[in-house]
Amino acid sequence: MPDFCGLELAHPIVNGSGTFDAIAARRAFGDELDAAFPFSAFVSKTITLAPREGNPPPRLWEAAGGLLNSIGLPNKGLEGYLAEDLPELARLPVPLITNVMGSTVEEVAALVEALGEREEVAAIELNVSCPNVRTGLDLGADAAELGRVLRAVRPLTATPLIVKLTPNTADVASVAAAAEEAGADAVSLINTLRGMAMQPGRAGRPWLGARTGGLSGPAVRHVALAQVAAVASRVAVPVVGMGGVTSGRDALELLHAGATLVAVGTESFRDPAAGRRISGELSELAANRPFVSEV
């Protein structure tokens, strides 16, 4: 029973933000889904202050051992989320983590404040893989900028705050340390790696509607392990590790690298019950094979 920021979770497997829509899944698979919910906590797709349509299609490109996506964070906006989605998500049998993103301090503050008031929201995850208006870089690529934003919003709520780091940076451990220092209760990583695909047969034309996208899946698993290990050895707050997990063994490796929870993303696309399968594999591994622990 992992304890994560005060939440008692049934097992260490949660979903990666934006890779499982519990409301749509309920429509597709019926109420049995809730009875055997694949994750020990549910992480929402990223919510922004104003509604977003997302990027123009195509939004998907299949890569060797992975997926490149340029979804572009379509969502109903804060109000729509609170009015329409939150009641539905509150019915889930597991705690709800709401993921948010803003491109200015003010936006982030408004999101954190509004969600912090809702007791249905067990924790807030802040997605910092968004271009920062001041620097042009992703907010999460720059330790100083991220610290500035966090110090401004941290006092606005008592709800645990998870910072979802971007992997597209030279030194993720320094960024994580800055987040911890500025008051983050946990960090999560990795988000997708920036990538691009070309339209078959059309010279120089990108395939994705947004030109570039983010790579996920087994292709990024070893990058995730390196970043999670680097971050976990640098910060004291709990780490949610993710990136390319497809099995209990993969999850265990992230736990051994220092993660407290492991998120499953792209693997759910092929197997919607992957979370449940992986948490089962994980307990089997723990039960059957006492691992030699030496670091």
Partner 1 sequence: MTANEPLGPYRVIAAADPAGPVPAAGQFFMLSAGERWGGGEGGRPFLPRAFSMLRREGDELRFMLEDVGPGTNRLATLEPGDGLLVVGPLGAGFTPGDTRRALLVGGGVGVPPLCCLQDELLAHRVETTALVGFRSATHAAAATLLRDPRVATDDGSIGHHGLVTELLERELDGAGGSERTVFACGPPAMLEAVRRLCVERALPAQLALESGMACGFGACFGCVVSLRAGGYVRLCVDGPVLDAHVLAEVPAH
Ligand X SMILES: Cc1cc2nc3c(=O)[nH]c(=O)nc-3n(C[C@H](O)[C@H](O)[C@H](O)COP(=O)(O)OP(=O)(O)OC[C@H]3O[C@@H](n4cnc5c(N)ncnc54)[C@H](O)[C@@H]3O)c2cc1C
Ligand Y SMILES: Cc1cc2nc3c(=O)[nH]c(=O)nc-3n(C[C@H](O)[C@H](O)[C@H](O)COP(=O)(O)O)c2cc1C
Point out which residues bind ligand X (CB under 6 A): 61-62, 200
Select from 1-9, 68-76, 79-87, 148-156 the region that touches ligand Y (CB under 6 A): 68-76
Distance CA 236, CA 181 (A): 10
Which of 75, 58, 65 minimizes the C-alpha distance to 23? 75
Catalytic residue among 121, 130, 150, 239: 130
Residue 152 binding target from partner 1, ligand X, ligand Y, none, CB below 5 to 8 Å by type: none
Distance CA 124, CA 116 (A): 8
Give catalytic status of residue 5 as yes or no. Answer: no
Distance CA 119, CA 28 (A): 28
The dihedral through the CA atoms of 71, 72, 76, 81 has a sign that is positive
Distance CA 1, CA 11 (A): 6
Among 16, 95, 116, 195, binds ligand Y (CB under 6 A): 16
Distance CA 295, CA 278 (A): 25
Residue 74 binding target from ligand Y, ligand X, partner 1, none, CB below 5 to 8 Å by type: partner 1
Name the minimum Å distance from CB 55 to a second copy. Answer: 15
Q: Considering the complex, state which of residue 141 and residue 197 has its C-beta at the smaller distance from ligand X.
A: 197
- Verify binding: residue 221, a second copy, rule CB under 8 A: yes
Please state, as a whole number, how many other Cβ atoms lie within 10 Å of the Cβ of residue 80: 14
Positions 150 through 179 that interact with partner 1 (CB under 8 A): none
- Positions in the binding site for a second copy (CB under 8 A): 61, 63-66, 68, 137-138, 141-142, 168-171, 193-198, 201-206, 212, 215, 217-223, 225-227, 229, 244, 253, 256-258, 289, 291-295
Which residues are catalytic, by number?
Answer: 130
